[in-house]
Homo-oligomer: A and B are copies of this chain.
Amino acid sequence: MSGIHDIAILGASGYTGAELVRLIATHPRLRIAAMTADRKAGQTMGEVFPHLRHLELPRLGTIAAVDWAGIDLAFCALPHATTQEVVAKLPRDLKIVDLSADFRLRDPAVYEHWYGHPHLALDLQAEAVYGLTEFYRDEIRAARLVAGTGCNAATGMYGLLPLLRAGVIETDDIIIDLATGVSGAGRSPKEGMLHSEVSEGYAAYNVARHRHLAEFDQEFAKAAGRKVEVTFVPHLLPQNRGILATIYVRGEGEAIHRALAEAYANEPFMVVLPFGEAPATRHVRGSNLVHLGVIPDRRPGRVMVFSALDNLTKGSSGQALQNANLMLGLPETMGLLAAPLFP
């Protein structure tokens, strides 16, 4: 079967929307049939993102104007809260890969606690499958609605989930120190994201209260079979793409390395470095790869686990495409095998 699937991108004027277009541009089985951006409706994608001006793409329109007939799947890259209202009105037979935070959390009370308002589409929330492909592959394949993970959350989980499942680390002494590029903050103008404010500087933000903690709590408890509360301190890097999590755990180094290597042995995008080596964000840039490393501390029983990925690719739009491939019955890696861009 070599048919073409028509897809739509809702919220195409942000960085994750543009990244979807970049990836799908060379995907042999997907065709972008509709793109929306309510505030930029009427513009071409090339006007909004000149690096895509050479592509033939549908003009940006409103969500209301999309003709859903013939569209198999929609990527939804809208802000959270808006998303649940929009998705609730989409055709019920449309497959949806959502990139927002709206459907990540299983427990409505937890959602309300972290996002400050009640969820408005509880049925969808109940239906959604968490989009961490390597851990929910079968559910994603069968899902209608997949909730893309937080990009920081994915980075931390890739380093920790196999360890919690294998029981090779203590669960009450986990620290996730994380550094992320600025593109995760999106394209809306904010003083704190200006070049003058970001370059040549480094600082922590949302210390101990970042919303991706909710995802950690949910998924780590599930993996460990008990409540797991981690410490999480994200920092902002003077770079555009890339997240590195430096994770401090207690356990035995080689056992930890083995648990990661075994968990990811057959995964096409997961690269576990030789024991003792540390990954770098620059070596996964623009790719769907995750590089993982394990280095023991000088103090016995303490180990550092490192996890690096590109927040816009494996952390959001690449993950979304990987999940869409599964949902559409296509090869999982299709359109995602480009090597990282370095330097």
- Chain B residues whose CB sits within 8 angstroms of the CB of A80 once the complex forms: none
Nearest-CB residue, chain B, relative to A55:
B339
A343 and B196: CB pair below 8 A? yes
Q: Is A81 an interface residue (CB 8 A)?
A: no
Q: Is A193 an interface residue (CB 8 A)?
A: yes
Complex Cα–Cα for A339 and B25 (A): 7
**Distance (whole angstroms) from the CB of A232 to the closest CB of chain B:** 9
B246 and A200: CB pair below 8 A? no
B339 and A341: CB pair below 8 A? no
B306 and A231: CB pair below 8 A? no
Contact of A237 among B205, B237, B338 (CB under 8 A): B237
- A1-57 residues at the B interface, CB under 8 angstroms: 15, 18, 21-22, 25-26, 49-55
Q: Is A282 an interface residue (CB 8 A)?
A: yes
- A60-79 residues at the B interface, CB under 8 angstroms: none
- Chain B residues whose CB sits within 8 angstroms of the CB of A202 once the complex forms: 179, 237, 239, 242, 244, 280-282
* Interface residues on chain A, number (Cβ under 8 Å): 84
B199 and A199: CB pair below 8 A? yes
Stretch in A119-127, A135-143, A183-191 touching the partner: A183-191
Write out, one digit per residue, whether chain A residues 268-282 have a CB within 8 A of any chain B CB (1) or not (0): 000101000011111
B242 and A201: CB pair below 8 A? yes
Q: Is A238 an interface residue (CB 8 A)?
A: yes
- Chain B residues whose CB sits within 8 angstroms of the CB of A339 once the complex forms: 21-22, 25-26, 51-52, 54-55
B341 and A203: CB pair below 8 A? no
- Chain B residues whose CB sits within 8 angstroms of the CB of A280 once the complex forms: 50, 201-203
Complex Cα–Cα for A190 and B191 (A): 8
Q: Is A248 an interface residue (CB 8 A)?
A: yes
User: What is A's interface to B at a CB cutoff of 8 Å?
Assistant: 15, 18, 21-22, 25-26, 49-55, 175, 177, 179, 181-183, 187-191, 193-205, 207-209, 213, 229, 231, 233, 235, 237-242, 244, 246, 248, 271, 273, 278-287, 289, 291, 295-299, 302, 304, 306, 308, 337-343
